[in-house]
Amino acid sequence: MTSDGNPRILSPVENVRSRLTRMRFLVNAARWEIIFLITALGAVTLWRSCKDGSFAGLLRSRDNSLSPARIQMLMVTVLTALHYLLSTIHDPSHLPNVPLNLVAVLGGSQSLYLGAKAWDFYSNRKQEKQ
């Protein structure tokens, strides 16, 4: 409003700046809403899994002993997910690239797990035949 009570007419540049400011606000609000939603979904999922879920077979093999292959696979998977989550939180404007070293470590971890599982499977088959 001007001093005489009439509405002020914005120049085209001021009009664009005003719209950009409102759009930035909407983009930031949407970004934080998505972060909150994903965090809340993860927290509820984790809570429900710990409350109702059974993790009895997560780290144990068939003979009920602790499986080192499963432990290392779980640790590497959780650490990889945590690294990616922290990278995303650090710069939420885009999804970060996954470093090739991290992909190699994750692939090696999965290969070790599958190798141990194959070893158990084939060694049990040999024992059953004898």
Mean pLDDT of 103-109: 87
Q: Residue 49: CB partners within 8 Å, gap ≥ 6?
A: 55
pLDDT score at 22: 77
Domain boundaries, the chain: 1-53, 56-130
CA atoms within 13 A on the CB side of 16: 3
For residues 70-98, give the mean pLDDT: 86
pLDDT of res. 36:
94
Q: Look at 90 and 14; give whichever has higher pLDDT.
A: 90
Q: Average pLDDT in the 73-96 region? A: 87
pLDDT tens digits, 2-30? 566 666 666 666 666 777 777 888 888 89
What is the per-residue DSSP string for 19-56? HHHHHHHHHHHHHHHHHHHHHHHHHHHHHHHHHH---T
Q: Does the pTM of the predicted model rise above 0.85?
A: no
Model pLDDT, residue 41? 94
- In the prediction, which pLDDT does 37 show? 94
> Average pLDDT in the 42-59 region?
78
